[in-house]
Amino acid sequence: MEPKVEESQEHVGASPSLYDPFRVIKREPLDIPYEVTVKEESYEGDSINVEENNGNDAVTRDCLEFFKSHDSTLKNESDHERRSINYNCQQSYKVGKLNKILHRGIRYKCDLCSKEYFHKGSLTEHKKRHQGIRYKCDLCSKEYFHKGYLTDHKKIHQGIRYKCNLCSKEFLRKDILIEHKKIHQGIRFKCDLCSKDFSFKRSLILHKKLHQGIRYKCDLCSKEFSRKDNLTDHKKIHQGIRYKCNLCSKEYFHKRSLTEHKKLHQGIRYKCDLCSKEFSRKDNLTDHKKIHQGIRYKCNLCSKEFLRKDILIEHKKIHQGIRFKCDLCSKDFSFKRSLILHKKLHQGIRYKCNLCSKEFLRKDILIEHKKIHQGIRFKCDLCSKDFSFKRSLILHKKLHQGIRYKCNLCSKEFLRKDILIEHKKIHQGIRFKCDLCSKDFS
Domain check: are 303 and 226 in the same one?
no
224 phi and psi, to 5 degrees?
-120, 150
Residues with Cβ within 8 Å of residue 127, at least 6 apart in sequence: 110, 112
What pLDDT shows up at residue 356? 92
Give the span between the Cα atoms of 360 and 254, in whole angstroms. Answer: 23
The answer to whether residues 214 and 241 belong to one domain is yes
> Does 21 have pLDDT greater than 50?
no
Q: In Å, how far are 8, 47, 77, 146 from 90, measured between CA atoms?
A: 20, 12, 14, 43
| CB contact at 8 A, 99 and 72 | yes
Which contacts of 68-75 are long-range, i.e. CB under 8 A and separated by 24 or more positions?
69/14, 70/14, 70/19, 70/96, 70/98, 70/99, 71/96, 72/96, 72/99, 75/47
Task: Say yes or no to pLDDT of 7 above 80.
Answer: no
The average pLDDT across 287-304 equals: 84
Of the candidates 10, 11, 28, 19, the one whose C-alpha atom is nearest the C-alpha of residue 201 is 19
Quick check: is 84 in a domain? no
161, 126, 131: which is closest to 146 by C-alpha? Answer: 126
* Choice between 130 and 255, residue whose per-residue pLDDT is larger: 130
Instruction: Give a yes or no: residue 195 inside a domain.
Output: no
Element at 189 (helix H, strand E): strand 189-190
The helices-and-strands tally (H runs, E runs) of the chain is 16, 28
Taking residues 342-369, what's their average pLDDT?
A: 86
Q: Is residue 33 part of a domain?
A: no
Q: Which letter does DSSP use for residue 50 in this model?
A: B
Which residues, in sequence order, are CB contacts of 155 under 8 Å at separation 6+? 161, 172
91 in Cβ contact with 98 (< 8 Å):
no
Say if residue 215 is in the same domain as residue 268: yes
Q: In this structure, are 211 and 275 located in the same domain?
A: yes
β partners of residue 190: 197
**Confidence at 105, pLDDT banded by 50, 70, 90:** low
Indicate if 289 and 206 belong to the same structural domain: yes
The pLDDT value given to residue 301:
87
Where does a domain end: 293, 310, 330? 293
CA atoms of 83 and 92, how far apart (whole Å): 16
109-147 residue pLDDT tens: 889 887 888 778 888 888 888 888 888 888 887 888 788
- Band of the pLDDT at 88, cuts 50, 70, 90? very low
Contact 92, 76 (CB under 8 A): no
Q: What is the pLDDT of residues 153-209, one digit of tens each?
A: 888 888 888 889 988 888 888 888 888 888 888 888 889 988 788 888 888 888 888
pTM, rounded to two decimals: 0.39
Same domain as 184, residue 125: yes
Supply the range of the domain harboring residue 157.
115-189
Q: Is 206 among the domain residues? A: yes
| Residue 289 shares a structural domain with residue 304 | no
Distance CA 188, CA 200 (A): 7
Q: Domain tally for the chain?
A: 3
* Number of Cβ within a 10 Å radius of residue 67: 23
Residue 13 lies in a domain: no
Q: Domain of 233: which CATH number?
A: 3.30.160.60
**331 and 247: one domain?**
no
| Across 26-41, average pLDDT | 37
Domain boundary among 293, 319, 339: 293
d(CA 162, CA 149): 16
Report, as an integer, the average pLDDT of 375-404: 85
Tell me what the mean pLDDT of segment 264-277 comes to: 84
The answer to whether 396 and 387 are in contact (CB under 8 A) is yes
Round the average pLDDT of the chain to a whole number and report it: 73
Reply yes or no on whether the pLDDT at 14 is more than 60.
no
The angle subtended at Cα 245 by Cα 241 and Cα 247, nearest 5°, is 160
pLDDT, greater one: 150 or 47: 150
Do 213 and 278 sit in the same domain of this protein? yes
Answer yes or no: do 208 and 283 share one domain: yes
Q: Which residue blocks in 302-438 are alpha helix, DSSP H?
A: 309-320, 336-347, 363-374, 390-401, 417-428
Quick one: 122 and 175 in the same domain? yes
Among 311, 327, 347, the domain-final residue is: 347
Phi, psi angle pair for 198, to nearest 5°: -135, 155
In a domain, 409, yes or no: no
Distance of CA 305 to the CA centre of its chain: 23
232 and 253 part of one domain? yes
Percent of the chain with pLDDT over 70: 76
Domain presence at residue 107: no
Residue 324 lies in a domain: yes
Q: Looking at the DSSP assignment, which residues form a beta bridge with residue 225? A: 216
